Amino acid sequence: MSASQSAVRSRAEAVKVSRTFDWLILFTLFFVILGGYHVHFMLTGGDWDFWTDWKDRRLWVTVLPIVGITFPAAVQSVLWWRYRLPFGAVVAVLGLLFGEWVNRYFNFWGWTYFPVNFVFPSNFMPGAIVLDVILMLSNSMQLTAVLGGLGYGLLFYPGNWPIIAPLHVPVEYNGMMMTLADLQGYHYVRTGTPEYIRMVEKGTLRTFGKDVAPVSAFFSGFVSIIIYFLWHFFGKWFGSTAFTQST
C-alpha cells in the first residue's frame, strides 16, 4: 500500500470513523468481558451470589470481593494504563451485573420459578467506583491495590446491607428462630441448600459475636489487595500485542 494514500476523504470522516470504532469497541469489550467475568464469578462465588440464604455474615462477605476484584483489576490495567480511561472497574462490574440480572429474571425466575427477591445478585458498584476513583486520582497501581483493594473488601457488606437487611430480620417458625432468608431457603429446596451441604455459619468466627461481618470484610479486603496485584499483571499480559513467529 502507498504511504501517501489516505484511508479517509477528510478530517471530518476520520473523526466519524474514530467515533464509530469507539462504539464498536465499547460494545464488544463490554460483552466479552461480561462473558469471561461472569463464568469466572459464577463458578468461584456463584452460590453465595445466587441465593439469599447463602448471603451470610461470613463466607459471603469474605469470598465475593476476593473473587470479584479479579476482572476489574485486569480491565483497569489496560483501559487506564494504555488509554487513560478511568472506568475499567465500573465497566467490568456493570457487565457482570447485566449478565446476572438478565439471568436471574429470565432463568432463575422465568424457567425455574424462584422469586427474584430470593435470587437477586450482590452489588459491587461502590467498590468498583472506589477502585476507579483512586486509580484516576492517584495514577498509582500500588495505591489502588492497597487502598482500593481494601476498600473493595470493606465496602461490600455496607454496599449490600440496605438490600439484604430486610431478609436478615429474625422470625420464629414452628418454634425455631431463623432469618427470613433462611425461611426462603427452606421453602425453595435446591441441591445447593446450605443445610444440605453443611455450610451454614460453621467455624469459630461466632466467637466475635456481632463482629462477624466486619472481621470477614477486613480479611476479604486484605486478600483483595493481593488479588488486585496479581490480576493487574494478568491484565497486562492479556493486553499484550505480541505475535508468535512461525518457524
Partner 1 sequence: MAATTESVKADAAEAPLLNKRNLVFAVAIYCVFYAWVRWYEGVYGWSAGLDSFAPEFETYWMNFLYIEFVLEVSTAGILWGYIWKTRDRKVMSITPREELRRHFTHWIWLVAYSVAIYFGASYFTEQDGTWHQTIVRDTDFTPSHVIEFYLSYPVYIITGGASLLYAKTRLPTYQNGMSLQYMVAVVGPFMILPNVGLNEWGHTFWFMEELFVAPLHYGFVFFGWAALGALGVLNIECQAIAKLLKKDLA
Please report, as residue ranges, which positions from 123 to 182 form the binding site for partner 1 (by CB under 8 A): none
Q: Is 99 in the site for partner 1 (CB under 8 A)?
A: yes
CB nearer to partner 1: pick between 5 and 174: 5
Q: Is 35 in the site for partner 1 (CB under 8 A)?
A: yes
Cα 10 to its chain centre, rounded Å, is 43
The amino acid at 196: Y
Please identify which residue in 19, 31, 115, 116 interacts with partner 1, judged by CB under 8 A.
Answer: 31
Min CB(68)–partner 1 separation in Å: 13
Q: Is 84 in the site for partner 1 (CB under 8 A)?
A: no
The C-alpha angle with vertex 184 and arms to 110 and 61, in degrees rounded to 5, equals 95
CB nearer to partner 1: pick between 73 and 212: 73
Please identify which residue in 61, 69, 75, 145 interacts with partner 1, judged by CB under 8 A.
Answer: 75
Stretch that binds partner 1, among 109-117, 140-148, 159-167, 208-216 (CB under 8 A): 109-117
Q: Which three cell numbers stand for residue 76?
A: 483497569
**Minimal CA–CA distance to 159: which of 79, 237, 55?**
55
Please identify which residue in 19, 105, 110, 171 interacts with partner 1, judged by CB under 8 A.
Answer: 110
Helix H or strand E encompassing 172:
strand 170-173
Q: Is 40 in the site for partner 1 (CB under 8 A)?
A: yes
Q: Is 55 in the site for partner 1 (CB under 8 A)?
A: no
Q: How far apart are CA 20 and CA 25, in angstroms?
A: 9
Q: How far apart are CA 192 and CA 194, in angstroms?
A: 6
Q: Is 198 in the site for partner 1 (CB under 8 A)?
A: no
For 84, left (φ over 0), alpha (ψ -120 to 50), or beta? Answer: left
Min CB(102)–partner 1 separation in Å: 7
CA separation (Å) from 98 to 62, 91, 92, 152?
23, 10, 10, 20
Q: How far apart are CA 84 and CA 171, in angstroms?
A: 50
Please identify which residue in 19, 82, 187, 206 interacts with partner 1, judged by CB under 8 A.
Answer: 82
The C-alpha angle with vertex 168 and arms to 165 and 171, in degrees rounded to 5, equals 135
CB nearer to partner 1: pick between 15 and 226: 15
Q: Is 235 in the site for partner 1 (CB under 8 A)?
A: yes
Min CB(154)–partner 1 separation in Å: 23
Q: How far apart are CA 100 and CA 68, in angstroms?
A: 13
Q: Is 24 in the site for partner 1 (CB under 8 A)?
A: yes
Min CB(232)–partner 1 separation in Å: 12
Look at the chain and count its residues: 247
Please identify which residue in 5, 174, 204, 207 interacts with partner 1, judged by CB under 8 A.
Answer: 5
